[in-house]
Each structure stands twice: as structure tokens, then as C-alpha cells.
Amino acid sequence: MTADKVIIHQRSPNKIVILDRQGNFVQEFRPREVTARLLANLQDKLLMAQHSFPQIDKIKKEEEILEVRWNFCLVSREGEIEKLEGSYPTLWFFKRLPMAVVADYLTEMTGALLKNRYFVFSHTEKYSLKILDLNQRKLVKTIQRKYKKVRYQPDRPRDERPGFKTLAVPRAYFNDIQKIIAREDKILVLTSTVD
């Protein structure tokens, strides 16, 4: 959302819809390639992410931790795509069950736009921030810090219903970084520590 617009990324069919703040239609366009996530609105382009997702039908094991690679791109209001350098992996848990599949991200791609120029993001379980300079179109800095891991405790289970089973994702610790927020010239990092 901007001061005067609401920007919506629709995944299926893959398109961008722009509305004014009153909900009136302004513009709609389709990126020339499939995009997975809208990350930030720049003055004349959108920062978006694409990912190379594993082909589920080719997975042979019953249970596996897979790598999903994310790439950033700038998308013009005409749908033209400019790919940025770099590829950033996240981990995805996959388990095949009879007549079903259980899947969830173990690490997340999370980030925020700083000063309308830098995209600050994290994609691993560690306390590691990467800073992408959108003017230079490249990664310019990595900030790492030693951080005491917080043991993972799943949310309290819902009331179990007869005949239903729950399956927990195999996770020992929370990811160090849960969310990134950028305000003016500051980067705020929400961590896994709860006081």
C-alpha cells in the first residue's frame, strides 16, 4: 500500500492489480514471467520474487527437506521483467502420505524496503541479514551475528478430533530472524527470543 494506491499481487492467474485508496480500479497488468511474491513498491517498478520450486511428482522419498531457490526481479508497469543477480535458498519440508501431502517452509524469505533503495532480507535459519542495493542491482552487504538458538515449541495443538492425526514438521529450533521491518534509516529485526 502506498499513500494513494493499493497494489495487489494475484498468483493465479499471475497479475498485478492497482486500486486507489477508495477501492477504485486504476490498472491491471501481467508480468511477462510467473512471479511468486510482491516484495516492495518502488517509484516506477515493483520488486518481486520468483522461485524455482521442486517438482513434486519427481520426489522419490517419502519425506524430504528440499531447497527452494528465490530470485529477485524488477517488474515495470508494462510487465517487463529485469532479473537481479543472485539466488537465495530456503528450506521446505515435504512428506508424502496416502492420498495427501504435508509441506511447510522451514526457513522463510522475509524482508523490507529501506530508504526506497535497499531491500534488506533474510532467508536462512541463522541471524544473517543481506542488503540488496536496488540502484546498483547487486548485494552490497551481509550482516551476521552470533545468536543463541531458541528451541522450537509448536503452537498448542487444537482439540484432537477422533480419526484425525497431526504431523509436526521436523524442526529443532526457531529461525533466528522472524521478521524484518525498515523505518526511515533503521532496520528492526524481530527475533525468535520471547521475553
| Mean of pLDDT values over 79-101 | 90
Q: Structural domain boundaries of the chain? A: 5-18+26-155+165-191
CA distances (Å), origin 60, targets 40, 55, 92, 164, 169: 37, 11, 15, 26, 19
Q: Dump pLDDT digits (tens) for 136-146.
A: 999 999 999 99
Cα 60 to its chain centre, rounded Å, is 26
Q: Smallest Cα–Cα separation from 180: which of 111, 90, 134, 116?
A: 111
Q: Dump pLDDT digits (tens) for 44-59.
A: 899 999 999 777 777 7
57 three-class SS: helix
55 or 123, higher pLDDT: 123
On the 0-12 / 13-18 / 19+ scale of CB atoms within 10 A, 20 is exposed
